[in-house]
Amino acid sequence: MNKNTVVKVQSISKTYKLYEKPIDRVKESLNPFKKKYHKEFHALNNVSLDLKRGEALGIIGRNGNGKSTLLKIISGVLTPTKGHVNTRGRISAILELTSNLKPELTGLENIELNLKINGFKQQDLPEKIREIEEFAEIGDFIRQPVKTYSSGMKSRLGFGIATSSEPDILILDEVLAVGDFNFRQKCLAKINSMRDDMSIIFVSHSMNDVKMFCDTVLVLEKGQKAFHGNVDEGIKYYLEKKEKEEKPIQTNNKEPATKPFYGDLFHNQEKINNIRHTWHKQIYKLEEEMTLYFSFELKYHPKNLIIGLPVWDQLGNIITSFNSDYYSVKIFNGRYKIEGQFKTHCYFNPNTYSSVFVVTDGSEFLYRNLNSNFSVANKERVFGYITLPHKWEISR
């Protein structure tokens, strides 16, 4: 292995045997003719990669495509069915933030236990314990059993412990998908402060986080390496492939595929019908003009027709909401068939977004349903949810 390489994955595969019934496992083991009663599931299939010292690798892909399995094999939690993994240096894997916490022990006892497991000497413990305690910011709860903690307190303590071991290789599996905004910012600052001293393998569904942290990206599809290389090109490949595979939202009597944070979907068919609404593109660039086309037919004479357009990110955070009433736009002008366009500019940072098309008559809801998702990709590393138009002036 090259002296600058800290992780070398060589043609690894991970295959699981799936049995329909528990008894089938016994039948297979006892069958004199070696009859198979199982189906094989390839969680990973012939994946290879190299991670160099100081490099940050992002791994992206849809759920069930082998990301977590690959991390567990690299960190030594799982053994590959085929292939080999060689690593150089100390590995710290944050596969689940609270997995290293014992619920019956206090926060301080958990910190000390984990530090000793990671090889810290007794004389180094007080400084490390103080560092983790300051990061967690859970006050007097640090002396209470972890089973009494909220999920946010457990996450802060778990992350502080996991990053305290000063690893050569840090493996992160969706760490920034949990916790509140302040917790995310603390995690980002902590990881950034360690960037120069270690290599990172980072799994996330947030394209913004991948662009911010990673030097290269690996895209996994059905357990196989679909792309490995430049971050921008990898994200573009992933988003375009994802958009092609997604089916359009159904607006008939079938139950719509939706998440709770969208709210209740609604359609008053006695008052409004033939509704159409869609973004003119599926992938936008920063500052590019966005257009939503819409049309519908009314079956009655409205009093005060209003169109709303709330927007969420993929984690359920509401980013903004547009509203025709804000500019006193008159939607109904005596014609019962209404067609129009909504235009804005894309100031959303790289991510996948969901929006809902809402029609109300005053406070009465007539229609509320999902638009097709849109994604945002750009060439720069950005932070937060939005990037507002701005300019810099330097005095000479």
- Give per-residue pLDDT as tens, 123-166: 889 999 998 888 888 888 999 998 888 777 887 888 888 777 77
DSSP-derived secondary structure for 327-362: GT----SS-SEEEEEEEEE--BPSEEEEEEEEEEET
Give the domain CATH number at 208: 3.40.50.300
79 and 114 both lie in a single domain? yes
User: Which of these three, 197, 218, 245, is where a domain ends?
Assistant: 245
One-letter identity of residue 359 = V
189 and 61 both lie in a single domain? yes
- Asked if pLDDT for residue 252 goes beyond 60, the answer is no
What is the pLDDT confidence band of residue 256, given thresholds at 50, 70 and 90? very low
Looking at per-residue confidence, does 220 or 191 come out higher?
A: 220
Q: Is residue 355 situated within a structural domain?
A: yes
pLDDT of residue 99: 65
Looking at per-residue confidence, does 261 or 66 come out higher?
A: 66
pLDDT of residue 178: 55
Query: Helix, strand, or coil here: 67?
Result: helix
Domain that holds residue 338: 260-376
223 and 288 both lie in a single domain? no
pLDDT of residue 254: 43
- The share of the chain scoring above pLDDT 90, in percent, equals 33
145 and 49 both lie in a single domain? yes
71 and 208 both lie in a single domain? yes
The two most distant CA atoms of the chain are separated, in Å, by 88
Q: Is residue 212 situated within a structural domain?
A: yes
Which residue, 83, 77, 127, 133, is CA-closest to 108? Answer: 133
88 and 180 both lie in a single domain? yes
Positive or negative, the Cα torsion across 368, 247, 353, 256?
A: positive
pLDDT of residue 232: 84
Q: Is residue 253 situated within a structural domain?
A: no
Of the listed ranges 239-243, 288-292, 301-305, 380-384, the least confidently predicted one is 380-384
pLDDT of residue 264: 61
The structure's pTM equals: 0.60
Q: Is residue 254 situated within a structural domain?
A: no
Give the domain CATH number at 367: 2.70.50.60
pLDDT of residue 247: 52
Q: Is residue 308 situated within a structural domain?
A: yes
Q: Is residue 15 situated within a structural domain?
A: yes
307 and 369 both lie in a single domain? yes
- What is the average pLDDT across 31-55? 88
Under 8 Å between Cβ of 117 and 111: no
Q: What is the pLDDT of residues 327-384, one digit of tens each?
A: 889 999 889 999 999 999 999 988 888 899 999 998 788 998 888 888 888 656 677 7
Q: What letter would DSSP give residue 145?
A: B
Q: What is the pLDDT of residues 69-99, one digit of tens each?
A: 999 999 888 999 999 999 998 887 777 666 6
- Residue 90 tokens read as 């100390």
38 and 108 both lie in a single domain? yes
Q: Is residue 251 situated within a structural domain?
A: no
267 and 370 both lie in a single domain? yes
Looking at per-residue confidence, does 117 or 67 come out higher?
A: 67
CA distances from residue 65 to 43, 62, 78, 218 in whole angstroms, order as listed: 7, 6, 16, 12
Q: Please report how the helices 151-162 and 181-194 are oriented relative to each other, as an axis angle in degrees rounded to 10.
A: 0
Q: What is the pLDDT of residues 5-16, one digit of tens each?
A: 999 999 999 998
H or E stretch at 11: strand 5-19
Number of domains in the chain: 2
147 and 195 both lie in a single domain? yes
Q: Is residue 26 situated within a structural domain?
A: yes
Q: What are phi and psi of 337, to 5 degrees?
A: -100, 115
What is the pLDDT confidence band of residue 291, given thresholds at 50, 70 and 90? very high
Q: Rounded to 5 degrees, what angle do the CA atoms 119, 120, 126 make?
A: 155
Of the listed ranges 177-191, 227-241, 275-289, the least confidently predicted one is 177-191
113 and 204 both lie in a single domain? yes
235 and 266 both lie in a single domain? no
pLDDT of residue 192: 73
What is the pLDDT confidence band of residue 185, given thresholds at 50, 70 and 90? low
| Helical H segments across the chain, by residue range | 22-30, 67-75, 107-117, 125-136, 151-162, 181-194, 207-213, 231-245
Which residue, 393, 388, 392, is CA-closest to 286? Answer: 388
pLDDT of residue 260: 39
